[in-house]
Amino acid sequence: MKGSIKLVSDYHRQRAIDMVRSAPDGYHVSVKEPTRNLDQNARLWAMLSDVSKHEPEGRKLTPDDWKVLFMHACGWECQFLEGLDGRPFPVGFRSSRLTKKQFANLIEFIYEYGNRHGVRWSKPEPEY
């Protein structure tokens, strides 16, 4: 028996318990915080596009490049490999693996940075 269950009700909790009880020896179980949601992801990309268009500090970067910079600034480790064209590119981390809270912190950091640099936001600031 394989599967994963989102714990949203007593029924789902009971189903998870039943799966654990019937699992053969050697199976693994993990309980983790939920990751970012689609609304957070949409907001992130809108914000990264806004920052990219504004070019703070004269930085002409793509939204993908800004994402790498902001994730690094928030403490998520980056590794770089040399591409086939000789240019480095980031590997080893993905914003989709961040928890909702970590993602909210990333968005908050980008807002703070953008506000300090006069970025005009295409979406209003989220309420936390």
pLDDT tens digits along 52-98: 999 999 999 999 889 989 998 988 877 778 889 988 877 766 788 88
Q: Map tokens 């809270």 to a residue.
A: 101
Residue 115: its pLDDT value, please? 95
Structure confidence at residue 127 (pLDDT): 55
* pLDDT tens column, 15-59: 999 999 999 999 999 888 888 888 899 999 999 999 999 999 999
pLDDT at 88: 80
Statement: residue 128 has pLDDT above 60: no
Checking if the pLDDT of 125 tops 80, the result is: no
Helices of type H across 23-123: 38-54, 63-73, 100-116
In angstroms, the CA 123 to CA 43 distance is: 8
Return d(Cα 59, Cα 6) in angstroms, integer: 41
The stretch 119-125 carries a mean pLDDT of 84
pLDDT range class, residue 1, cuts 50, 70, 90:
low
Higher pLDDT, 13 or 87: 13
State the Cα angle at 86 between 85 and 87, rounded to 5°. Answer: 95
Question: Nearest 5°: phi and psi at 76?
Answer: -85, 125
Give pTM, 2 decimals. 0.70
Hey, what amino acid is at 107? Answer: I
Collapsed DSSP state (helix, strand, coil) of residue 108: helix
